[in-house]
Amino acid sequence: MKSFKQMIEDRRSYYAINKTSPISDQEIKEIIEHAVKYVPSAFNSQSARVVLLLGENHDKLWEITRETLRKIVPADAFESTEKKMDAFKNGYGTVLFFEDQSVIKGLQEQFALYKDNFPVWSLQSSGMLQYTIWITLEAAGLGASLQHYNPLIDDEVKKAWNLPDEWKLLAQMPFGTPVMEPGEKDFLPVEDRFKVFK
């Protein structure tokens, strides 16, 4: 098993993926369940909601996204959009990340002093959850990327999988076995981004 430090270093955005997985569906499910259970949230709100789409359901999501974008992207510019949709659909599955707004509103009512903070804290917790699932899937041999076609596809997604209105879609993570390595990544000098005072 890789060290946590190595998992952080290895995480990249993989766009060239295919419809295979080096691990079982049950193992994918366990990775996501573990993250959902243990990633922290403000006031232990546990407001994260996650949907795993595999097989035809994964394909359906990217068809919904394709047809939604077809209505708003000019026809002469749609080819590059279509290629993106094909690349995501070529994956093995997709993780959908939501935050339950009813939980957030309940906390706002209960703790009015922090009312403006709860939506921010909710996003921070979701970011931690997304990252945890991303690096754990990658450590298991899968490649993933993080996409944001919300709010354009929100209504169709909720309708297709009969999800509660209170669930706000924040991100989509298509994943599959990588078929091509990503290019080199450039880094700004760490000393420009991190200061120590002692």
CATH number at residue 72: 3.40.109.10
**Is the residue at 156 inside a domain?**
yes
Q: Does residue 197 lie in a domain region?
A: no
pLDDT digits 0-9 by tens, 10-47:
999 999 999 999 999 999 999 999 999 999 999 999 99
Q: Is 172 part of any domain?
A: yes
Rounded to two decimals, what is the model's pTM? Answer: 0.96
Q: Is residue 83 part of a domain?
A: yes
pLDDT of residue 2: 85
Q: What is the mean pLDDT of residues 114-123?
A: 97
pLDDT higher than 80, residue 155:
yes
Would residue 51 count as lying in a domain? yes
User: For tokens 């002469």, what's the residue?
Assistant: 76
The verdict on residue 122 lying in a domain is yes
Determine the Cα–Cα distance for residues 118 and 103; give it in Å rounded to an integer.
10
| Span 51-71, average pLDDT | 98
The predicted pLDDT at position 1 comes to 74
174 by DSSP, 3-state: which? strand
Q: Which domain holds residue 24?
A: 4-192
Half-sphere exposure of 15 (CA within 13 A, CB side): 8
Mean pLDDT of 46-54: 98
Angstrom CA distances, 50 to 46, 65, 108, 128, 149, stand at: 11, 18, 22, 13, 16
The set of residues, in sequence order, having a beta carbon less than 8 Å from that of 169 and lying 6+ positions away, is 96, 97, 98, 150, 151, 153, 154, 157, 158
- Residue 18, classed as helix, strand or coil, is strand
Q: If you average pLDDT over every residue of the chain, what do you get? A: 97
- The total number of structural domains in the chain stands at 1
The pLDDT of 65-82, averaged and rounded, is: 95
